[in-house]
Amino acid sequence: MERNKVLRVAAGTMALASVPVLTAACGGDDNNSNATATTPPQTSGTSAQVQTQATANAIQLFVDSDTVRGSKNLPTGSADGCVQSNLYAKNEQVVFRIRVYDPVSGKQLTADDLESVLVTLKDGTKLDPATYGAHPKTEPNESFWTAAWVIPSNYPTGSVDYTIAAKAKDGRTGTFTQLHFAASAMLAVTDQVRPIIPPTPKP
């Protein structure tokens, strides 16, 4: 049998071609950081068309988020504080770490840029507005938005869906909505109930 070459596929080109788009859609983290743009980014078209679309999308903000365990009700000296997690016992504190970006410039937006960053749970609970600041307080540190939530001892066991809505002072908005997929698993509450530790009285 004679053979004629009809197609060549270069080695190493089998990876997803639209990784940048997918990273933007998923937050790029396999733990629990899943951001969705309000309008899916365009994946085809001429450079001019893409640029036009990007300009149109500039009214939206990119919101990225993950969760870490807060220090509330952790024993003194516990190493679990500020550790990224998506499984929490009741009475534990979930800290939402939030970064909001201008999708065109890539600039991270601060309290000078944003009017509000609000976390809302599926059950309607609205957390106190997120605040912008450095974490930890001493260097080396990094600045981002945070909102905290102590899970009530009678809160339902299971997944906790939430959204984060960011609003800029110039009117632009952006929303983070948690996706359901096994690679991340969603934020969830276990049946464990951590004992409440009263705050230490200050001298």
Partner 1 sequence: MTASPIQAGTQGTGADETVGGICPYLGTPGDASQQEEWHTYTAVLDASPYRIQVGDLVSLTGKDYTPGATVEFVWYSVEGHYDVRDHTEFIGQRYAPTTQVVAMAVANDAGEIRASFVTPVDFGGPHDIRARVDRIEVSQSGVLLTPTWEISSVEGPVGADIEIHVEGIDYRTSINTWHVLWDNHYMGMMTGVTTRGVATARFRAAGPAGKHYIAIWNNSYQSTPYLAFFRSPFRDQFEVPIEFVYNVTADNGLPPVSKDDFSAADNPWPVETVGAATLKLSPDRCYVGDAVTLTGAHFPPNTAVDVYWRTAAGDRVNVGGITEYQGRLGTVRTSAAGELSFDFVAPDDLGGSHRMEVKAGEELLAPTCLVIMPKLLSCTSKVKAGEKIHVHLHGTGWSTYENTYAATWDNSYIGYACGFSTQGDMQFHFTATGAPGTHLLDLYPTIYKGADEMPKVYSLPQLTYADDHPERKTPAFRLAVEITE
Which positions touch partner 1 (CB under 8 A)? 1-18, 21-22, 25-26, 30, 34, 36, 40-44, 85, 87, 122-124, 154, 156-159, 161, 179-185, 188-191
**What is the Cβ-side half-sphere exposure of residue 170, based on CA atoms within 13 angstroms?**
10
Give whichever of 7 and 112 is closer to partner 1, judged by the CB atom.
7
**Which of 45, 38, 47, 40 is closest to 22 using CA atoms?**
40
Contact between residue 29 and residue 37 where contact means Cβ atoms under 8 Å apart:
no
Give whichever of 85 and 115 is closer to partner 1, judged by the CB atom.
85
* Least distance between partner 1 and beta carbon 14 (Å): 4
What's the CA gap between 99 and 56, in Å, rounded? 21
| Three-state DSSP class for residue 107 | coil
* Least distance between partner 1 and beta carbon 157 (Å): 4
* Least distance between partner 1 and beta carbon 188 (Å): 5
CA 180 to chain centre: 13
Give whichever of 6 and 48 is closer to partner 1, judged by the CB atom.
6
* Least distance between partner 1 and beta carbon 109 (Å): 23
Give whichever of 132 and 184 is closer to partner 1, judged by the CB atom.
184
Per the structure block, which two tokens stand in for 72? 């509330």
